[in-house]
Chains A and B, each alone.
Chain A
Amino acid sequence: MLEARNLFKTYEDAPLLEGVSFSVASGETVCLLGPSGSGKSTLLRIIAGLESPESGQVLWEGEDLASTPPHLRDFGLVFQDYALFPHLTVAENVAFGLKMRDLPKEETASRLTESLSMVDLDGFEGRRVTDLSGGEQQRVALARALAPRPRLLMFDEPLGALDRTLKDAVLEQLRLILHTTRVPAIYVTHDQEEAFALADRILLLHEGRIVQAGTPAEIWRAPASAWVARFLGMGNVVQGTAISRDGRALFQTEFGDVSVHCADRFKPGDKMPLLFRSGSSSPYGKNADDQDGVLVRARVEDVVFDRERFKVELQGGLFAYLDDAPKVGDEISVAFQVECLDHD
């Protein structure tokens, strides 16, 4: 439905988007995930028509939108910090888009009620938006974007200002709404938890390019680069050098020689980043090839409680997620599953 084709944009003479292409299918939720400054908000603003790309196209069902101004695109956008109209009530805010479309009164009233109840804000019609809590404002912004029933919904870091509990609740609500309305959506965030919770497909944006695209499971199973593995906090990235011993292809690392099945593809002497994941940090670890692994024995330097597990820092710079907490100073053995990362 929506297609972005080879978008380029610079900001203050520095490249911001360097040829971004992707598409969003009917009913699909796509998350643009990337660190701050990766150009993801700009990408959203280009799709909304608030900024124009230096080159490239935004198409809707094959039709170029370059000459369509934002107010005729019929794309809803939920802003970071919401951008609610402070001079209007909750109802006036939510009905704004309906008013702009000059809908009949009864239609406006019924859609207003419907949108407010979708975000559990029944009865908030007459409230001033400046009197609402952050979470309530967030939901008004969502209802405002939903009310005109746009053909595409976009979210620009919409949960950034909320605390964790509130975030989880809104995320749950958002999932439900996106699934029931089946409206195609683009969701921009730097928070991988939000992306994993919502996305049908994730696009990882880094330095103006999409470095990996796939379902959350695909990306978690096979990170495309060392940067992706580090950004998502999947495990330790360790430099390896390909060697050949006894006819077997191995990687030499500072933590010992490692056998990885992908080592066959390299000539001795090739350098390659490797991902060391401890058993429980990889949900697929149990099914992976047992051959691809290494046992590291090291002293425990620090133990951090991390909900249902412990993050254990080891001497030498590796960390691992373990179910039981060792004592600091203990020497323990940890099994790491090792995967090839195709590049930095």
Chain B
Amino acid sequence: MSQSLLRGFGRSASRRATGSLGRRILLWLPALAFLSVFFFYPLARILGLSLSLSVLTAENLGRAAGVLWFTFYQALLSTLLTFALGLPSAILFARFEFPGKSLLRALTAVPFMLPTVVVAAGFNALLGPRGWLSLLLPAGSFQFTGTLGAILLAHVFYNTTIVIRIVGNALAHLDPRLEQAARTLGAGSRRVWSEVTLPLLRGPLLAAGLLVFLFDFTSFGVILLLGGARFSTLEVEIYIQALQMLNLPLAALLSLIQLLCTLVFSLLYSRVVERSVVAIAPRPYHAHPAGGIVQKIYVATLALLLAAFFVLPLFALPLRSVTRLEADRGERGAVQYGLTSSYYQELFINRRGSVFYVPPVQAARNSLLYAVSTVGLSLALGLPAASALARPSRLERLLDPLLILPLGASAVTLGLGFILSFHRLLASPLLVPLAHTLIALPFVIRTLQPAISSIPDRLRHAAATLGASPFRVWQAVDWPILSRAVLSASTFAFTVSLGEFGAATLLTRPDYPTLPVAIARFLSQPGGLNYGQAMAMSTLLMALTLAGILLIEKLRLPGTGEF
């Protein structure tokens, strides 16, 4: 999801600011007011609560230290494993041409944009106790869910694409003659790697490593859903302390630690990105078909491995949602196999007749409502701010980083801040779209701003001299270019809200769940029917998200790269 944000980094519009100071302040006002009330104020509450003396007890600090250590440990392990798969894959995509390459490359990027509940459900459908693998292996012979391995695997699944993109792109743009020069100077292939290629890739390797680590460090849904609460990372522990232990001060302290860590990693990342000089490449590397038996084996094995790794969980999920794999409730007889649509039909039925039970279709309706509100709100705030940013003055350069800040706070931390600040509103379903807007706003602005600055003033002036009124100018010149970006930003906000799990799980009331929250709930309940419904809902969510991604890809302005 951070793709379009990262795409925005380093983009600085070169045109001078126009318009009066008053007008520009007016453009900034909505977004700033919103951030002040819904981000900085909650942040201040967290800060205030976590720094009171009563929180800083030896017990709390000890607990926090333990959680911090485990968070580091799993993030480091995940990062190393991600590189173990990502680095060979980066070489594969940068250096070799093979059939199905672009499809496979696109496939590896899909998980990165999928909601965590979908990824968790996908791995569950493949390797979980009711998954496909349980058909092949005798019961109890292996355990996947609830292990550290499950968490690590899901993290590798999520983040391999970062390594492929950042390192692979750098590798593909490395001037091939540098390696050739090394060879003519007497370096064998191993020394070419160690003396030339790797040192030149130092920046991209560090950047990718930090980014992967950051995502693993702040991961929440995957850990909670695949690992379980006993793997308490900072995120999971904030959630547990806030919702289950009702120990808000400790949750606030953990949030503060989390924020500080994220801040340090982000600063390191932008330093690395700034300083990494990618070797100038007048002629980028020309990928070629594998030659020689060793290369052929390398390409074939890795491509097949990647295809299996990225296809299986994504296909296990929808298949499982239409397949009955176990005996129905009450019938302890033979296991029945077969296709079924009953999991989908059940989504519409309140079988238990309970007031607190919410049929899944209700959750889907909630999610859609929240998503639409998020789109409306983030556009209303983002459009004026993006217009101001499109012609930056000193004011804009000063305010710009403020807009990015909410991204540094995890969704769980945002949720905690809301709980602390607006406890009287907790009964209202309003908080979720507000939190989602905070998350979506930076992306929305980063999508709109380049589109607005891409419209040359000459066109507006030409239209005006031809007799168009300001509104007609806007209608004839700005809107046709802007509409694509608006649609793209809307889709983005929509999919972000639809799949968001961390904040929603802290903020939703039991009778007003979102789709991801409902999926998590159904996954954790016993019974084949609940499981099947979780699969069905996840499949729907995946389909919606994929449709969103495809739409955004289609709308992408030509010339804007990735990351």
Contacts and interface: CB of A to CB of B under 8 A. Distances in A.
Interface stretch (B187-195, B421-429, B534-542): B187-195
Interface of B: 175, 177-178, 180-188, 191, 195-196, 199-200, 202, 277, 279-280, 282
B185 A97 contact: yes
A73 B184 CA distance: 8
A169 to B, nearest CB: 24
B277 A83 contact: no
Given A71-B186, A81-B282, A83-B175, A100 B191 contact: yes
Interface string A63-81: 0000001111111110101
Contact of A83 (B180, B191, B195, B199): B180
Contacts of A100: 182, 185-187, 191, 195
A85 B184 contact: no
A86 B180 contact: no
Nearest to A154: B184
Contacts, number: 75
A61 to B, nearest CB: 19
A96 interface: yes
Given A49-B184, A76-B184, 18 more contacts: A48-B180, A48-B184, A71-B182, A71-B185, A71-B186, A71-B187, A71-B188, A72-B186, A75-B184, A79-B177, A83-B177, A85-B178, A86-B200, A87-B199, A100-B186, A100-B191, A144-B185, A148-B186
A128 to B, nearest CB: 10
B196 A130 contact: no
A88 to B, nearest CB: 8
Contact of B277 (A50, A101, A130): A130
Nearest to B280: A86
Given A83-B177, A83-B178, A100-B191, A71 B183 contact: yes
B242 to A, nearest CB: 48
Contacts of B282: 81
11 contacts: A70-B184, A76-B184, A79-B177, A79-B180, A85-B182, A86-B200, A87-B199, A87-B202, A97-B185, A97-B186, A100-B187
Contacts of B191: 100
Contacts of A86: 178, 200, 277, 279-280
Nearest to B278: A86
Interface residues of A, number: 29
B195 A96 contact: yes
B184 A87 contact: no
A84 B195 CA distance: 13
A218 to B, nearest CB: 32
B12 to A, nearest CB: 23
A148 B181 contact: no
Nearest to A144: B185
A148 B178 contact: no
Contacts of A48: 180, 184
Interface in A210-225: none
Nearest to A88: B199
Given A86-B200, A86-B279, A86-B280, A71 B184 contact: yes
Dominant secondary structure at the A interface: mixed
Contact of B181 (A73, A74, A77, A101): A77
Contacts of A101: 186
Contacts of B187: 71, 96, 100
A144 B181 CA distance: 10
B185 A96 contact: yes
Interface string A230-273: 00000000000000000000000000000000000000000000
A87 B194 CA distance: 13
Contacts of A81: 177, 282
Of the listed residues B175, B187, B200, the one surrounded by the most CB atoms of chain A closer than 10 A to its CB is: B187
B186 A69 contact: no
Contacts of B185: 71, 76, 96-97, 100, 144-145, 148
A50 B182 CA distance: 11
A172 B180 CA distance: 27
A69 B282 CA distance: 25
Given A96-B195, A130-B277, A83 B181 contact: yes
Contacts of B199: 87
A194 B452 CA distance: 51
Nearest to A75: B184
A80 to B, nearest CB: 8
Of the listed residues B175, B185, B186, B195, the one surrounded by the most CB atoms of chain A closer than 10 A to its CB is: B185
A74 B200 contact: no
Contacts of A73: 184
Contacts of A144: 181, 185
A62 B282 CA distance: 37
Contacts of B186: 71-72, 74, 97, 100-101, 148
A148 B184 CA distance: 11
Contacts of A50: 180, 183-184
A145 B180 CA distance: 13
A145 B280 CA distance: 21
A86 B196 CA distance: 9
Contacts of B175: 83
A107 B491 CA distance: 65
A85 B183 contact: no
A77 B184 contact: yes
B282 to A, nearest CB: 6
Contacts of B188: 69, 71
B167 to A, nearest CB: 16
B339 to A, nearest CB: 50
Contacts of B277: 86, 130
A84 B181 CA distance: 8
